[in-house]
């Protein structure tokens, strides 16, 4: 690396920083500024101090939306990260010939979420949906319900779709990580008489802890940003049971034109997501890489 | 049927693994068969919604209602053609290609240039700029889309392709710069010094040494930038109201609300946008998987 | 090797330049082109889209230098995010659909509604309408909308065959309605179909119901934000909604499916009744041409309001005050309401409000009777989402949905509205 006093490094940097500054950084600052105002997006802007934050703190719907997204994240950690880990473990037991399996499981990741959402809205449809029809075929009519219309199942139903999409994604990440576990370690454990399950639990999983931390970070911060599935499948319903911060934000800003209030909620959400991200990166840094060279 | 097709393809591609012969060799094979059966069951459960979608696209409304699991009685691609035409899917796909293509190219070019700057030079503000881009890795969409939308509206950028290309590029840059910098950092300094001594300009060094060396990194960046731009929904929903400029996700949503009661047609449209992605994935699965793993784990 | 590398770089640069020029061109195409007349609306359904496309073709034939660009959006999207974004956007529409009432006034206040007074008194639109219709479309002394149709936003449609088979007659009182629900449930038929995922479908219907109980004035003042919802009258009104839930009057999926899917239950004969607006007739042409159905107004409720009231709203088209093509827009609206095109719309089951429409011979009897229902109504109730502030309307709708779905008690739901609105 050469110390350089010319403008050259800046010339290489300017285009990227200009686009990033224009489309991300400046709007972040403006969103923060808007959060102290009452504004409908085009009329007069009124400075209101921290009123919007006080309102957000008292807003039951906003609080509920956080609860919902936390439940969603908790479920998706199980359905995406844990299931992904188990699937990767299964596949890594016998690597040969598993390609077709990984392809099948990974395919949903390729699809636009809107396509996934529309498709699964049909799966859950209570008139002709796949799920109710399957239950009927199996003689389990009692379990049939309006999956997306029932407050007790809607959030889970959406989470399951998310799991369907991303289990393959995390499986792929973990599979790549498992492949980096030195074979000698595994062979040695095998000679000591460890079964596949013990190998998985005691050797493989601990050795890819780093990849698991990253996956958790992705799952959690990604979960806070979820929107497509919720917007298309339930749009917050039934009775607000699937209202998450993002759908609530979009409603406040774009439907009811409360730009100031929406911005305050966006700031709160940003602080939470960035804060979690920083904590995770710190934790990851403190534990030096053990496996990946 | 897609499962079978892909199966065969992969099996034939990997005949050297001698999987089939191995199957008859040792007594342990019962466990093996069970194991494979379990994998097949899981794969089928995962794949079933997509199969159901394709089957249903060939059915009438009443057949979808009455016999949801039955195979279609006839395979008539007329519905697909109809869905493609009345649904403007060609137009949406073209828009997606243009927006994704332009965004990816911009990310590659700007990202490589910035990574080059960070990796090869020390200069005032370097840490600040790197910190800002690193922050971009963590910032959620929600932190900027409100002000971005009012800004774009005031600048009359909404309802143009720029309204998507600019934010997609900006959103893709932090990870691109970060990854490409890792690649460049691994390049020995001597390579660049040699060129410099030969009198090559900085731009020349970037173009003829750094970029070619970065090719694997650029491929990785291209893959995950392309996927995220192709599938982005929220900004496309907010910024593009003109039907002629809609991308596949918002276009498909418009389609689904317009033909919501013609389920066969809707399933046809869903199948049309899904199948090419599956084919692309099957062909490029190795690169895609590598790209995505690298993009998320690094 | 440097040669090939240079080539790679040149190729990448050329590619990206081409791509940017390409996108630049197509992005700028719309705005720099001054000869495009843009018209935006929520999708009116296939039958009417055919008429609109034909009117656009007629206009283009008569004005070869102008291109007409139609933008049919998803209804709910248009009403919420779509139209405001369009108006503030680059390719703002020259003509756009709007509902009369608070929304229209807001558009005028924001400077998006051109003064059409001259056009309707002495310009191209003069003489097409009865002057009286413009009184409700006038803001600050200026006519700002050309009316298109008067929509009754909710009546109770019923399947004549199902009713005949079950030996039922359409309900006219609240008690009869509940009895009808019980009888239909006993037959295994969904009594009333409703697709309330987006909250306005049953919302409109139940808002009308509550207005009958609390009275039109209390209804209007609560929605305007002048009085609270949490009053014994509103709780009583919500109590009737709870009775609907108790008698299983609506499909179980009511809050999970959208209005299209709700209509589908009715079209397929799975539900005997359907609570929705006058546009159902037009939908039925495409979706269920053989269905025998008719309507009754909301059954009389025990309560303060006028029990013959009708819930409805005038809709029409506004010329954008920021448009540079206001004259062309007025001419287009005149063409839209020409005798020939009015007959075309009637063929698509929409009765325009022009004087000429009355002379049409093949107006669907149900559409004609709905028009007269609205014209002769002793009281007209405005739908919450068209006539009042959207956030208030939404809070009311959400509360109604909760009670209809059996999630909240009337008292809790009503208290929740005030709490939500702060």
pLDDT single digits (tens) A84-115:
999 998 888 876 667 788 888 888 888 888 88
Task: Read off the DSSP letter of residue A226.
Answer: -
What is the SS3 assignment for C192? strand
Cβ distance C86 to B238 under 8 Å? no
User: Taking residues C241-264, what's their average pLDDT?
Assistant: 90
pLDDT score of C177: 95
- Backbone dihedral angles phi then psi of residue A151, each to the nearest 5 degrees: -60, -25
Q: Once rounded to an integer, what is the mean pLDDT over residues B27-45?
A: 80
Best-predicted range by mean pLDDT among A92-96, B23-27, C323-327? C323-327
Contact by Cβ (8 Å): C9, B209: no
- C72 and B258 within 8 Å at the Cβ level: the answer is yes
Residue B18 is predicted with a pLDDT of 39
Mean pLDDT value of segment C125-139? 86
Distance CA A158, CA A152 (A): 12
Say if residues C258 and C200 touch (Cβ distance below 8 Å). Answer: no
Exposed/middle/buried for residue C118 (C-beta within 10 Å: 0-12, 13-18, 19+): middle
Q: What is the CATH number of the domain that holds B161?
A: 1.10.3720.10
- For the cut 90, the answer to whether the pLDDT of residue A57 exceeds it is yes
Q: What is the pLDDT of residues C1-22, one digit of tens each?
A: 344 444 444 444 444 444 444 4
Decide which of A145 and C32 is more confident. A145
Please check whether residues B140 and B181 belong to one and the same domain: yes
All domains of chain A, ordered by start, with CATH?
70-244 (1.10.3720.10)
Residue C119's H or E segment, with its range, is helix C117-121
**Interface size between B and C, measured as CB pairs under 8 A:** 103
Range of the domain at B146: 87-258
- B281 occurs within a structural domain: no
Does residue B291 form part of some domain? no
Beta strands in C74-229 (DSSP E): 95-99, 138-139, 142-143, 146-152, 155-159, 190-193
Contacts of B153 in chain C (CB under 8 A): 85, 88-89
**B268 domain residue, yes or no:** no
Beta-carbon separation of C19 and B102 below 8 A: yes
Q: Is residue B232 left, alpha or beta, with left meaning phi > 0 and alpha meaning psi from -120 to 50? A: beta
Those residues with Cβ within 8 angstroms of residue A280's Cβ, 6 or more apart along the chain or in another chain: A213, A216, A217, A220
> Chain B contact for A86, CB < 8 A?
no
Does residue A286 have a pLDDT over 70? no
| Domain match, B112 and B200 both | yes
pLDDT band of C168, cuts 50, 70, 90:
very high
Q: CA-CA distance, B37 to B110, in Å (whole number)?
A: 48
Confidence band (pLDDT; 50, 70, 90) for C198? Answer: confident
Please report which helix (H) or strand (E) contains residue C36, including its range: strand C36-42
Closest-CA distance, A29 to chain C, in angstroms, reads: 22
By percentage, how much of chain C surpasses pLDDT 90? 50
* Tokens 């495409």, residue located: C286
Least confident residue range of A65-74, A194-203, A235-244, C399-408: A194-203
Calculate mean pLDDT across residues C349-365.
Answer: 75
Q: In whole angstroms, what is the distance from residue B142 CA to residue A283 CA?
A: 25
* Second CATH level (architecture) for the domain C34-151+313-370: 3-Layer(aba) Sandwich (3.40)
Confidence of residue C421 (pLDDT cuts 50, 70, 90): confident
Q: How many Å lie between the alpha carbon of A65 and the closest alpha carbon of chain C?
A: 14
Average pLDDT of the segment spanning A198-222: 88
Question: Do B68 and B92 sit in the same domain of this protein?
Answer: no
Which residue of A lies nearest to C398 if distances are taken between CA atoms? Answer: A239
Structure confidence at residue A141 (pLDDT): 82
Taking an 8 Å cut-off on Cβ atoms, the answer to whether B237 and C81 are in contact is yes
Same domain as B240, residue B188: yes
Chosen domain end from B14, B49, B78: B78
Query: A151 in contact with C at a CB cutoff of 8 Å?
Result: yes
- Is A172 near chain C, with CB under 8 Å? no
pLDDT for residue B298: 52
The pLDDT of residue C23: 39
CA-CA distance, C24 to C9, in Å (whole number)?
A: 22
* DSSP-H helix ranges across C224-325: 232-246, 259-267, 280-287
Query: What are chain A's partners, defined as 3 or more CB pairs within 8 angstroms?
Result: B, C
Query: Are residues B114 and B158 located together in one domain of the fold?
Result: yes
Concatenating the DSSP letter of every residue in C38-107 gives EEEEE---HHHHHHHHHHHHHHHHHSTT-EEEEEEE-HHHIIIIIHHHHHHSTT--SEEEEETTHHHHHH
* Residue contact A240–C398, C-beta within 8 A: yes
Per-residue pLDDT at B237 exceeds 50: yes
Whether C34-151+313-370 and C155-312+378-421 share one fold: the answer is yes
Q: Is residue B6 less than 8 Å (CB to CB) from chain A?
A: yes
Q: Which superfamily is assigned to C155-312+378-421 in CATH?
A: Periplasmic binding protein-like II (3.40.190.10)
The verdict on residue B164 lying in a domain is yes
Question: If contacts are CB pairs under 8 Å, which of residues 203-242 in chain A contact chain C?
Answer: 234-235, 237-240
Report pLDDT for A186: 84
- Residues B246 and B95 sit within 8 Å (Cβ to Cβ): yes
Lowest mean pLDDT among A95-109, B179-193, B266-280, C357-371: C357-371
Q: For residue A238, is the peptide bond before it cis, meaning its omega torsion is within 30 degrees of 0?
A: yes
Does B222 share its domain with B247? yes
Count H helices, E strands: chain B?
16, 1
Domains contained in chain B, number: 2
The reply to whether B55 and B115 lie within a common domain is: no
CA separation for the pair A245, B142 (Å, rounded): 9
Closest CB to A269: pick one of B140, B189, B202: B140
In this structure, of A80-84, A157-161, B186-190, C118-122, the range with the lowest mean pLDDT score is: B186-190
For residues B200 and B246, state if they share a domain. Answer: yes
Flag the least confident range among A237-251, B136-150, C6-20, C154-168: C6-20
Q: Does C197 touch chain A (CB under 8 A)?
A: yes
Residues B49 and B147 in one domain: no
Mean pLDDT of A118-126: 87
- CB contact under 8 Å between B260 and C261, yes or no, is yes
Q: Do B114 and A274 touch (CB under 8 A)?
A: no
Taking only the tens place, the pLDDT of each residue in C364-375 is: 788 888 888 887
pLDDT digits (tens, 9 = 90+) for B241-259: 888 899 999 998 888 776 6
Identify the weakest region by mean pLDDT among A192-196, B272-276, C38-42, C405-409: A192-196
Q: B95 and B184: one domain?
A: yes
DSSP three-state, residue A3: strand
B151 in the same domain as B17: no
**From CA C147, how far away is CA C342, in angstroms rounded?**
13
Crossing angle for the helix pair B29-56 and A99-110, nearest 10 degrees?
A: 30
Same domain? For B70 and B158 the reply is no
CB proximity B224 to A under 8 Å: no
A148 touches chain C (CB under 8 A): yes
Residue B232 tokens read as: 């982005």
Whether the ipTM is more than 0.90: the answer is no
pLDDT score of A2 more than 80: no
Identify the pLDDT of residue B171. 94
Domain boundary among B78, B105, B127: B78
Residue extents of the structural domains in chain C: 34-151+313-370, 155-312+378-421
Give pLDDT, residue A5.
56
């Amino acid at each position: 690396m050469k110390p350089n006093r010319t403008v050259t490094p800046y010339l290489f940097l300017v285009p990227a920083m200009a686009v990033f500054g224009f489309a991300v950084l400046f709007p972040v600052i403006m969103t923060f500024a808007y959060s102290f105002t009452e504004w409908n997006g085009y009329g007069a802007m009124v400075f209101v101090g921290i009123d919007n934050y006080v309102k957000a703190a008292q807003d039951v719907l906003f609080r509920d939306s956080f609860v919902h997204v936390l439940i969603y994240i908790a479920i998706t950690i199980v359905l995406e990260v844990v299931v992904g880990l188990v699937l990767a473990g299964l596949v890594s037991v016998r690597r040969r010939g598993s390609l077709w399996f990984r392809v099948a499981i990974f395919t949903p990741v390729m699809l636009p979420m809107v396509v996934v959402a529309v498709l699964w809205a049909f799966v859950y449809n209570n008139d002709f949906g796949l799920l109710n029809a399957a239950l009927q075929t199996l003689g389990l009519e009692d379990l049939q319900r309006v999956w997306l219309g029932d407050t007790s199942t809607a959030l889970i139903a959406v989470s399951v779709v998310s799991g369907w999409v991303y289990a393959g994604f995390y499986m792929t990440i973990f599979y790549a990580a498992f492949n980096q576990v030195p074979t000698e370690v595994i062979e040695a454990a095998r000679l000591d008489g460890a079964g596949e399950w013990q190998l998985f639990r005691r050797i493989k999983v601990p050795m890819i802890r780093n990849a698991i931390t990253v996956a958790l970070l992705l799952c959690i911060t990604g979960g806070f940003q979820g929107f497509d599935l919720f917007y298309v499948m339930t749009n917050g319903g039934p009775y607000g049971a699937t209202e998450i911060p993002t759908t609530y934000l979009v409603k406040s800003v774009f439907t009811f034109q409360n730009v100031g209030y929406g911005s305050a909620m966006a700031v709160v959400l940003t602080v939470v997501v960035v804060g979690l991200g920083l904590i995770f990166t710190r934790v990851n840094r403190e534990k030096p890489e053990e496996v990946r060279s | 049927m897609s499962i079978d097709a892909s199966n065969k393809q992969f099996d034939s591609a990997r005949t050297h693994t001698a999987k089939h012969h191995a199957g008859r060799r040792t007594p342990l094979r019962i466990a093996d068969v069970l194991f494979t059966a379990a994998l097949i069951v899981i794969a089928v459960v995962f794949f079933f919604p997509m199969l159901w979608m394709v089957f249903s696209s060939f059915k009438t409304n009443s057949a979808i209602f009455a016999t949801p699991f039955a195979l279609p009685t006839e395979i008539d691609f007329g519905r697909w053609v109809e869905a493609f035409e009345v649904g403007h899917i060609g137009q949406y796909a073209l828009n997606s290609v243009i927006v994704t293509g332009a965004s990816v190219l911009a990310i590659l070019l700007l990202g490589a240039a910035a990574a080059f700057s960070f990796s090869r030079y020390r200069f005032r503000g370097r840490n600040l700029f790197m910190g800002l881009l690193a922050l971009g890795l963590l910032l959620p969409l929600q932190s900027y889309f409100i002000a971005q939308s009012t800004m774009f509206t005031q600048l009359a950028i909404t309802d143009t392709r720029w309204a998507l290309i600019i934010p997609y590029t900006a959103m893709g840059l932090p990870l691109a710069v970060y990854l490409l910098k890792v690649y460049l950092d691994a390049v020995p300094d001597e390579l660049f010094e040699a060129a410099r001594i030969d009198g090559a300009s900085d731009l020349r060094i970037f173009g003829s040494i750094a970029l070619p060396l970065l090719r694997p990194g650029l491929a990785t960046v291209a893959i995950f930038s392309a996927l995220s731009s192709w599938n982005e929904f929220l900004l496309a929903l907010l910024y593009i109201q003109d039907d002629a400029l809609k991308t596949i996700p918002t276009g498909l949503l418009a389609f689904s609300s317009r033909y919501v009661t013609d389920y066969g047609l809707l399933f046809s449209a869903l199948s049309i946008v899904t199948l090419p992605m599956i084919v692309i994935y099957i062909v490029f699965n190795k690169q895609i998987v590598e790209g995505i793993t690298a993009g998320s784990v690094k | 090797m440097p040669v090939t590398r240079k080539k790679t770089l040149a190729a990448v640069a050329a590619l990206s330049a081409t791509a940017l020029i390409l996108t630049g061109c197509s992005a700028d195409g719309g705005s720099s082109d001054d000869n495009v007349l843009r018209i935006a609306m929520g999708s009116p359904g296939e039958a009417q889209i055919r008429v609109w496309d034909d009117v656009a073709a007629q206009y283009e034939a008569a004005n070869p230098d102008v291109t007409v660009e139609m933008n049919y959006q998803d209804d709910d999207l248009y009403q919420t995010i779509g139209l405001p974004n369009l108006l503030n956007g680059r390719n703002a529409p020259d003509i756009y659909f709007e509902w009369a009432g608070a929304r229209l006034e807001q558009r005028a206040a924001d400077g998006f509604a051109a003064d059409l007074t001259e056009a309707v008194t002495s310009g191209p639109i003069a003489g097409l309408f009865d002057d009286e219709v413009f009184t409700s479309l006038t803001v600050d002394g200026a006519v700002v909308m050309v009316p298109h149709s008067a929509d009754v936003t909710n009546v109770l449609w019923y399947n004549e065959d199902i009713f005949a088979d079950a030996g039922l007659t359409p309900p006219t009182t609240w008690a009869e309605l509940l009895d009808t629900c019980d009888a239909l449930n006993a037959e295994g038929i969904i009594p009333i179909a409703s697709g309330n995922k987006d909250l306005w479908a049953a919302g409109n219907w139940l808002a009308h119901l509550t207005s009958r109980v609390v009275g039109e004035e209390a209804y209007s003042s609560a929605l305007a934000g002048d009085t609270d919802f949490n009053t014994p009258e509103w709780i009583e009104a919500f109590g009737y909604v709870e009775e609907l839930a108790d008698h299983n009057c609506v499909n179980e999926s009511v809050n999970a499916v959208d209005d299209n899917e709700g209509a589908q239950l009715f079209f397929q004969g799975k539900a005997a009744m359907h609570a929705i607006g006058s546009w159902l007739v037009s939908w039925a042409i495409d979706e269920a041409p053989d269905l025998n159905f008719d309507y009754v107004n909301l059954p009389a409720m025990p309560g303060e309001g006028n029990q013959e009231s009708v819930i409805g709203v005038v809709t029409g088209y506004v010329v954008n005050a920021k448009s540079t093509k206001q004259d062309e827009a007025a001419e287009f609206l005149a063409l839209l309401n020409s005798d020939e095109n009015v007959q075309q719309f009637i063929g698509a089951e929409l009765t325009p409000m022009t004087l000429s429409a009355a002379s049409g011979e093949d107006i669907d009897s149900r559409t004609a009777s709905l028009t007269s229902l609205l014209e002769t109504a002793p009281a007209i109730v405005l739908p919450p989402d068209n006539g009042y502030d959207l956030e208030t309307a939404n809070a009311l709708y959400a509360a109604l949905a909760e009670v209809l779905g059996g999630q909240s008690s009337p008292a809790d739901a009503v208290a929740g509205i005030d709490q939500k609105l702060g």
